[in-house]
Chains A and B, each alone.
Chain A
Amino acid sequence: MDWELILENGGKALVGTDAVVFALAAIGLNVHFGYTGLVNFGQVAFLAMGAYGVAMGVITFGLSFWLAVFLGLFAAVILAVLLGLPTLRLRSDYLAIVTIAAGEIVRLVLRSASLRSSTGGSDGLQAFADPFFDINPLPTGGTALGPIHLGDGGYGFWIWTFGPNTTWVLIVGWGLVGLTSLMVWALMRSPWGRVVKSIREDEDAVRSLGKNVNWYKMQSLILGGVIGALGGVIFAISRQSVQPDNYSTALTFFAYTALILGGTARIFGPIVGSMLFWSLLSFTDVTLRQAVVNDKIPGDFLTGTRVGIIRFMLVGAGLVLLMVFRPQGIFGDKKEVAIGERG
């Protein structure tokens, strides 16, 4: 058993690009679901807007990279308005139905063969983020201070190191996580936040006090959607590629899992939830593979090709246990959850 490999991968997944992307997706969902009570099952569509906004902006429309980023965020605003206008007046279940459908519609449109010339069809688009890496200030060569790597053997600590380009993505990505969290924190302590949290509890009560409930729900949908689109932008940049099948419904539910694991309506809930989710997945994945390779698990019981599925079952079982013993997640307040159930 290569314990160092297990430790290395688990640690890198804790702060890696997946954790950043899902943290941003989950922060957006936290605004929607955790604070405003909007059940958005189509968060992946907002990520797709950000990712394809960048990719298509550069490759299809020939915009500069930075303008393309804004195109992606603007596309998320448009999507939020389109989804919100017909559904926000209605009960929350309708938003759930419409968003889950919208997520699939976006994916199917992006991969359709007839749009291959603009979206790249099922192959997607590649190599559009060069200007992002051109301004990477991190040199490829450098020094190391004991276990701290500063360019010599990548960037990082001890065995957990990343190459300069990945490190650059992570710096910008975690910076965005910090900025958006700061913004959500500032909003949620304000009277604006009080209104959206009250809408989560009972929107008719909020109406009866003279607040324009539908407008606040729209603002929340846009805010959370744009934060999700930022996640999509980072996702696209980190791979220098977009592929439609990366934007399936499962992504939305992983983001929900991360959010609930960390605790809803908490600033650090989605961040820590996403980090732990990916670290756990990586840990079980590498551990199982090591166990199979080193014959700790008999081959007729588990083979290496099945590990990818088994790890989801194990992590899923773990999450079920968490929900049983700690339904409020890591940061949640048990009393608050109990009151929510009573209604």
Chain B
Amino acid sequence: MSGADLSKTSGPSLAKAAPHEGLERVPGVPKPDPILVADSVRRTFGGLTAVDVDHVEIQRGTITALIGPNGAGKTTFFNLLTGFDKPDSGRWTFDGQDLAGLAAHKVARRGMVRTFQLTKSLARLSVIENLKLGGTGQRGENFFRGLFKPIWGAQEAEIEARADELLVRFKLDHMRDEFAGSLSGGQRKLLEMARALMVQPQMVMLDEPMAGVNPALTQSLLGHVKSLREDGMTVLFVEHDMDVVHDISDWVVVMGEGRVIAEGTPRDISADPAVIDAYLGSHHDAPLSAEEEEQVLAEVEEAIAGEEAG
């Protein structure tokens, strides 16, 4: 169940064979092999509808970007999917299992692990301890078994070996025994991603993985995100930087005012008028002429008059 076991997934060669080919570019379009399917997910805060997603599917083994202007509901949608927030209504399945209403830690155990927009490094634990925390099924995490090292010592050594491998891969091995709180912003992003991999997830959800990362580290981070796909994992990430989206994503889902307003390949999305409207407002390219302004004004006055009469 847990683990990005390559034999179970379609594998890197298939993942690269453009599974999105021939799909319609409409919001909520069905995918050939979706790992995540969400239906009618709604979340309101008082009078504000933060998320109102009718239907969206995420294709297995691909990198999907979730973009949209500020306040579009991307992070809220992320929180809902991963159990960090509760929706007013809606269902979603992950790998065929119903996840709606499940507590955050149970979502992670099913194989969907997230990172956070503001990195959550465990500051006063060493880098290696940060990673070891991610190990699943640890016997020593039980109170009574934890008291006796012979019970968990061997498993701990295995976990540590795996953590050390990840540290080398993410080029954090020179910081192994330093407090995580002494890492730079970019290194913390790397640490968080490596820690998520310790859970051996099938799907990784990255909330703004490039935010606050210095440009020198961006390329390396992008490489790591791509390598997740090569290892057979599915990636969904929130991002603002369109260059990043173009560079690494296979598919883009655009949110605006809580809804999915467009889907497509990065190239389609850049040209999609609905997306441009969402980011810039609907009359951005045509300033109103004096006549149009008068017309709008007349319409509004008429509407007000109508309301007062009614």
Contact = CB atoms under 8 A, between A and B. Distances in A.
A200 to B, nearest CB: 8
B141 A192 contact: yes
Interface stretch (B8-16, B87-95, B123-131): B123-131
A206 B192 CA distance: 11
A107 interface: no
A209 B149 contact: no
Contacts of B152: 190-191
A328 to B, nearest CB: 12
A183 B147 CA distance: 7
A194 B125 CA distance: 9
Contact of B122 (A183, A201, A342): A201
A211 B141 contact: yes
Contact of A209 (B129, B181, B199): B199
Given A187-B143, A335-B179, A194 B133 contact: yes
Contact of B104 (A202, A207, A219, A343): A207
Given A186-B146, A190-B147, A343-B123, A206 B133 contact: yes
Contacts of B170: none
Contacts of B182: 339
Contact of A207 (B84, B125, B130, B147): B84
Contact of B116 (A183, A187, A208, A343): A208
A195 interface: yes
Contacts, number: 117
A227 interface: no
Contact of A210 (B105, B125, B143): B105
Contacts of A201: 121-125
A342 B140 contact: no
Given A194-B125, A201-B124, A207 B105 contact: yes
B38 interface: no
Interface string A284-295: 000000000000
B141 A195 contact: yes
A191 B105 contact: no
Nearest to A210: B108
A204 interface: yes
A20 B143 CA distance: 26
Given A198-B133, A208-B115, A186 B148 contact: yes
Going nearest first, the 8 A-B pairs with the smallest beta carbon separation are A192-B146, A190-B146, A191-B140, A210-B108, A339-B181, A205-B120, A201-B122, A207-B104
